[in-house]
Amino acid sequence: MGSIILKELRGYFNTPIAYIVIIFVLEFTTIWFLYIQQFLYQNVASMGGFFGALPVIYIIALPALTMRAWAEERRQGTSEILLTLPISEGRLVAGKFLAALILLSLIALLTLPLPLTLSPLGRFQFGPIAGQYIGIILLGAAGIAIGQFISAFSSNQITSFLFSVVALLFITLVGQVNTIAQLPNWLASGINYFSLDYHFQSFDKGIIDTRDVIYFLVMTGFFLYLNTKVLVLRRWS
């Protein structure tokens, strides 16, 4: 599995994908936070505006990371080689997932200079900021699992990217339906439960709610499980 992780990481950095995603996330979040949200004029020592943009940014960034996971293997004909190796489908899926998660963690690490640079301007509470970082990793893990599951069905990267964008757009922003339409409480609660953005809101406030942590872990595990089952069916077929 370690070899698969290294292979995937080399694949990210031997192509422009990793660099494009890193630059896109860092530039967009910084511009959004400093210029669109106008942090310097709000006179509030909070990074909420910065982290609050990430669920929307992930709709584009995560499919870019996951689109080649399995689709490229199928296009190059190497998926058959992987499936004949003496390694379980679960380890194959875990290896690709962990490689993408490592890259996402690197992107999160590269955002640290922003709060550190702004810290002399006010009394930032670094406990909530740590909670916000945990939230973006958990959110990203769920998004990666969804994107790689969709990639397992795709025969090329573009198809995988487009379907992943649509899926993440829906599952991230489905909770916004409640702000547009007056729905019964039971239906509104059900819609919110499946929304990635809704479960990220507590993290955006610096609050670590165990219910939201469990939701992201369950979502991640569920789609990794489905990805594994797709490979099992493909191996036997």
Does position 237 have pLDDT exceeding 70, yes or no? no
Q: Please compute the mean of the pLDDT values over residues 194-206 and round it to a whole number.
A: 86
Query: Helix, strand or coil for residue 204?
Result: helix
Number of structural domains in the chain = 1
Write down the pTM of the prediction: 0.90
**Residue 139 CB partners (closer than 8 Å, separation 6+):** 54, 55, 58, 196, 200, 203, 216
Q: Rounding to the nearest 10 degrees, give the CA dihedral for residues 59, 107, 22, 41.
A: 80
7 or 175: which carries more pLDDT confidence?
A: 7
Is residue 216 a contact partner of residue 191, using CB atoms and an 8 Å limit? no
Q: Please compute the mean of the pLDDT values over residues 106-119 and round it to a whole number.
A: 87
Show the tokens assigned to 113: 């200079």
Which of 40-54, 126-140, 156-170 has the weakest average pLDDT?
A: 40-54
Does position 98 have pLDDT exceeding 90, yes or no? yes
Q: Which domain holds residue 136?
A: 2-236
Is residue 156 a contact partner of residue 76, using CB atoms and an 8 Å limit? no
Confidence of residue 149 (pLDDT cuts 50, 70, 90): very high
Mean pLDDT (the chain) is 86
Instruction: Single out the residue of 198, 199, 175, 200 nearest to residue 187, CA to CA.
Output: 175
